[in-house]
Structure 1
Amino acid sequence: MRKYNIVGVMSGTSMDGLDIAHCTLEEQEEGKWSYSINAATTISYGEKWRLRLSKLRHQNSMVFHKTDRFYGQFIGENIKQFLSDNNLEADLVSSHGHTVFHQPENNITVQIGDGNGIYAYTGIPTVTNFRALDVIFGGEGAPLVGVADQMLFGEYDMCLNLGGFANISADINGNRVAYDVGPCNIILNRIAREFGQEYDNSGEIAEKGAIDYDLLSELNEIEFYSYEPPKSLGREWISSNFWGYVRNSIAKKEDKMKTLVDHIAQQVGNNIEDLSGGDANGKRILITGGGAFNNTLISHIRTHTDAEVIVPEDQLVDYKEALAFALLGILRVQNKTNVFKVATGAKESTVSGSLYGDFSKI
């Protein structure tokens, strides 16, 4: 079968930067794909972009539309430079964009990064806007990577991504279930910045702290954790439903960090157990995302589950989500379902994504 060279692009809620991965994908059989990541890079956001993205949800409509356009151009320029630096060509660009609003309960999800700008600067057919159609059909619009987990990493019982939010997917009775577990790096990074750091390198801050069990109990009682999937979270939820408990705690900063780490690990462990029918022994869990480099967090997760926790090579840890959206993009071009209702709770499974450019040669 034909091989496709695709640039997958991802910007997560933790705002570490723009992930760009050049991937080769080939369908081996219906619903099973092989992959290679040929080159990858992360473009760190300067202070200007980080501030602009974090404040965008509070800006007026003109600022919003300008940012959408300029951010698309920013993506396109960096893809063009990335391909030139690595002497690579691509059949397709598949960009998640950067989430500004995610409120599926209000029928809203918005990712910026105008596909017109990406196509104009690269000349490569581009797919963006993967979430909106699912939300319109009543779904959560997230997480979407369960499709890739099934088609690329089916040898694992579950896949856990420790990004801005932690999300998990698993095959349950032949259906791929996927949902957000809770906040992850988005809250850990907030505490790290109080120490003058962008993130807690290897979990060193958390390792020095002690668990504050009063705060831990309050966090574990947050209503979201009692909801049945499908379910998802957005940045707005942190401010309105979570951060107040942390802000009001009298615990020391390092103790807050340790408590948040154990809270995340407990929620992850609980969900692994639930998805395993109460017995996770012998289950294999692939863990990726920036949180996989947090040794203290991984240690606590291992404490809270009997499953085998597998952290792969660094490249896959860093770029699995970009790879996943590369796959979602080519499925969109092939007019194949790339968002499944069983994972999101939508009324219909959909072929999702907006197209920009000339697709006649793909």
Structure 2
Amino acid sequence: MDTSYHVIGLMSGTSLDGLDIAYCRFTYNSKNWIYDILNATTLTYSDTLIDQLRNAETASALDLIELHHAYGRFTGQQVHAFVQQHDIRPDFVASHGHTVFHQPQRHISLQLGHGAYIAAHAQLPVVCDFRTLDIALNGQGAPLVPIGDELLFKEYDYCINLGGIANVSFSQNDRRIAFDICACNMLLNTLAGSIGLPYDNNGKQARSGSLHRGLLQELNAPAYFSAPAPKSLGKEWVLEHSLRTLTASTAPVADKLNTTCHHIAQQLKQALIPLHKGQHRVLLTGGGAFNGYLVELLQGYLGDNYSVEVPTPEVVSFKEALIFAFLGVLRWRGEANCLQSVTGASHNNVGGAIYLC
């Protein structure tokens, strides 16, 4: 089989920052995978599309299907423009889609952006729908990134992504363990938006606020945080618990941001059990890694035995798009890209539907 692949990875997170497009090269050499991000960009969503995606869970069945197809068309068009702009020749596209529902206990997980429409408008083969098979096998269908962490970022003890929802991945006793930790940018961006900001730049607003210990206790209270893995979070849970708690609080927004950063850092600390003696390397990616105040808090809570490392801005911003491109490669090769030890499925599986155009 080919040992080098050129793939476009697509990711749209729950924080609605936009569509991440990453053109990546993967080379298999001496039993190791080597990656390069060759071109990458984030396409900011229009206000209309943000409203459609944000309100998709309350849309009628007919409108939801229409949006599923329309978002696939939009995604394919953006990929086609990206390919022409950079004069590149990708082998295929791998798309995560935009999550609307994720309730694996009910065997439900829906990512908008129908693969057939992406393929038709990008004029490229597409790999998508990475979660459904794992859920059919009684797994959580999430997290999906850990196989990429294991094969592309093996030098780190922990890989943490601070996206709309924070998650962690690590190896323990020769098994990959991963789970969603808590809501992250979904909370921080919502709070920033309430004072007219798209996000809290470098944690400036949070740094100016004060810690409310009662609110912190409420944010830390849900049983999910003490439940064992495998486990995963969806937007529905965040709306019902963390965001509801923040909305009910009468504290100033800066204080809510400060307290939320402490909540996130404390939950991250709780998730990072010591794996061995000595120093632990922690890779921090996702939009939250640009929040200097949150990163400082995390390092303070973890202490000197942990080294929190924020990589290049390119890897911080596009690691998830990179790894979904990689999941597409594994699916293309017919190799497992979803791990039983992470999701709780009956066995490792090769997730993803392929659309050829």
TM-score range, shorter chain: over 0.9
- So what's the TM-score if we normalise by structure 1? 0.96
State the Cα deviation string for residues 302-360 of structure 1 (Å, max 9, x = none). 011131000000000000000000010010011100001100111121100001006xx
CA distance, structure 2, for counterparts of residue 184 and residue 44 of structure 1 = 20
C-alpha distance in 2, partners of 1:28/1:240?
47
Aligned to 2:83: 83
Cα deviation for residue 280 of structure 1 reads 7.3
Give the equivalent residue in structure 2 for 1:18.
19
Q: CA deviation at 1:236?
A: 0.4
Residues 3 and 29, structure 2, Cα contact 8 Å, conserved in 1: no
Q: What is the RMSD of the two structures over their aligned residues, measured on CA atoms?
A: 1.1
* 1:22-63 CA-partner distances (Å, limit 9, x unpaired): 000011244x31000000010101011000011111111111
Change (3 A) 1:29 1:176: farther
Aligned length: 354
Q: Which residues of 2 match residues 36-185 of structure 1 at below 5 A?
A: 36-185=36-185
Aligned residue number for residue 331 of structure 2: 332
Q: Is the 8 A contact 1:143 1:179 kept in 2?
A: yes
Q: Which runs of 5+ in 1 are unaligned?
A: none
SS at match of 1:14: coil
Letter in structure 2 aligned against 1:63: D
**Residue 293 of structure 2: aligned partner:** 296
How far 1:242 moved relative to its partner?
A: 2.0
Equivalent residue, structure 2, for 1:265: 265
How far did 1:185 drift? Answer: 0.2
Q: Which range moves more in the overlay, 241-250 or 150-159?
A: 241-250
Say which SS state the counterpart of residue 304 (structure 1) adopts. Answer: helix
Structure 2: 5+ residue stretches without partners: none
Aligned AA (2:282): I
Q: Percent identity?
A: 40
Matched, 1:308 2:293: no
C-alpha spacing 1:280/1:85, structure 2 compared with 1 (3 Å): farther
TM-score normalised by structure 2 residue count: 0.97
Deviations 1:192-243 (A, max 9, x none): 0111011101101101001000101111122110100111000000121222
* Residue of structure 1 equivalent to 2:282: 285
CA contact (8 A) 1:157 1:283 kept: yes
After TM superposition, list the pairs within 5 Å mapping 1:177-216 onto structure 2.
177-216=177-216
Counterparts of 2:95 and 2:43, CA distance in 1: 14
d(CA) in 1 for partners of 2:73 and 2:277? Answer: 46
CA 1:223–1:285 in 2, change beyond 3 Å: closer, same or farther? same
**C-alpha offsets along residues 45-99 of structure 1, whole Å, 9 cap, x if unaligned?**
1011000011111111111111111111111110111111112110010000000
Q: Secondary structure at the match of 2:302?
A: coil
